Structure 1
Amino acid sequence: MKVRALAGVALLTTMTLTGSPATAGAPTTAAPAHPTAPQQATGLRAVADRAGLRIGTAVDMNALADDAPYRAAVAREFSTVTAENVMKWESTEPQRGVHDWAAADRLIDFARANRQKVRGHTLVWHNQNPAWVNERDLTPAQLRAVLRQHIIDEVTHFKGRVWHWDVVNEVFNDDGTWRDTIWLRNLGQGYVADAFRWAHQADPQAKLFLNDYNNEGVSAKSDAYYALVKQLKAAGVPVHGYGVQGHLAVQYGVPGDTLTNLRRFERLGLQTAFTEVDVRMPLPADPIKVQAQAQGFTALLQACLLADRCVSYTLWGFTDRYSWVPGVFDGEGSATPLDENLTPKPAYAALRDTLAIAAR
């Protein structure tokens, strides 16, 4: 059973954080589906299981195919997996009506072989759409039709095999205004409700999430999501979860009201989850930055463990060997709990120790 009291562990109280998860590329290499490593009693997965929490990672499919130590760590350390790129629309339907499910299916097979749940990421986003989805060639009515077909096709293909879906990703700006996207311009705000209804129609058993960054604490952005969820629930829209990405940076501190924020969404009947956690730092690393990083990872984990309906905590990659951060944030990196050689950092020990406390 999940423990809700963490003795001797305090949540941090500082400022909000920034960061956006723009990952690139859609690898297609094969990965073996058979179990690759035994679960260790002291690894993250084992202690998270005892604490009643799913712990996960985003998976680089090229690495899963070609890097045996990486593959073994994914199987050993995590009970859920998220496709970093291969379930995004540009990967699954690069040409209109021509689907490529192969890489995503390989991840599903790997997860099944290793008794892992799968988070689907992501159905509706303003990034990483196929080139043929554009306002030059498609009218608003056609855009609505292709979006509906995309959601129905993808969720149907993975029906019964995906645990959670990030249905709509990054709807709002940080000030709480609607993000200007191809979907908002052409379909209006109702595209969010439509997307959830279509996904639920295709797989009534999957849990359906909103997902965003810079929404850890109570803020203009999370207020906008709170108002949207109340509106969706009042209209009978099947929204089940609120996803907090958790892309943090040590130079900005950690929000002190994360738990308060989670609990208000849970009172609306939603599950909550941390979906893409990493904690980057200006390079080079030093002991203070490393300590702050460990505190950032554990502050979000503590909030999840203390919340009533936080069901999973997912890292957006677990090793610096394949991290997206250096390619997006100039001069920053070292954002994951393991270094380039898969050697655990203090952040890894802090996560494991926090889970162990919760499991007592």
Structure 2
Amino acid sequence: MAKEGKSKSKPRLDSSEESEENVEPLKHTFHKPAIICIGEYPIKILLRGSLAKKDEPFPIFIDKSSEDIAEWSQSSLNPDSILGLDLNSDTHFWFQVLPFITKNGTLISRLKDKPIDKLRGALVVSSLWDGVGSGLLPALISQFKEWDRNTVTFGILPSKMQVSDVHFNAFSSVGMCLSKNFASLLLLDRDQLENYVGVDRKGAILKGNAFFNYMLEMISAKETFVQELSELTRAFDVRIYTVLSATGASFSMYGSIKNIVDSALSRPLLEFELSSASVVYVILRVPLQLKEKMTKGKIELEIANWFEEKASLQTAIISEPIYVEDVSDRIDLVMLVGGFNATEMFTAMEKRVKTIKSFVMKKGSIKEDEWRTITKSLGTA
């Protein structure tokens, strides 16, 4: 559960309005962000949802083998959606993948030809425990920075039940991503994700990693999401975020936004210290019939009041609600909480991977200065 703290400081409310002035004409113009999915675990999640079938722009699925991706999709994917590394070398660790990506350039060239809109940017989803995801993600973030493309990345951390080598991959990957100081990085814990239990807007049970599809479909419907969160990240120098969410919440049952937000505390997607958070970005999907009761202004006040006793926020961004035609009164709420202190979490991870780090360093697979950069970025050096 997310830990609460007390603060007397009120968050500064800010609106996040899209500005399209002085934007150069674009070769590709899309109304939604591109979706890039890396690794078997998240690919199989997305293949069960509607986003795998979207075509504006179509999603991009990346893993070691093109054939594997096609097989997982039962050949339902557009071949242009599949980008396999198709390596003949080992891909167990990040350091076996990253050099190939940076030196070879083939995958980056193929990705550059894909339709990624400059303004809408990209949503990247990646597992962090396998060699492909942990090695490719830092390379992609660097490349998107070079291309001047806004990027929001969802990184899924390994389960506590998984062995130390995958935690080494995840620890290293997060450190390298943060050292790029560019993309908005949202961390989700695999255990917390798979233990998620809620309901959807129809009142049906929403369980396990099916929630991720539900959340991503909601977020990707927000045209300005990547742009808004990227601006927030740069303005307040936010390192990482995580997710608090309440889905399918009946307004007549809960009675207020405050009570709905309270329920989100019982389903955090990462164990973290809420009291140390500095920013929050909020998206709501609201039935059109509740539009007068649930205006952006009213939501801002309720969210600000709720956080007043929880954290000393520097800002709270309430995005324009997504109003939908729906006969029910069920509301979906997603809060991206950022700027919290994650040193304790990363210190525990570093301790866990100490033996495997010594092993790969002794073999000469990584250098001391590479590891120093990683630990410095994570605040454990």
Given the two structures, how large is their TM-score scaled by the length of structure 1?
A: 0.35
Structure (1 or 2) with the larger CA radius of gyration: 2
Given the two structures, how large is their TM-score scaled by the length of structure 2?
A: 0.33
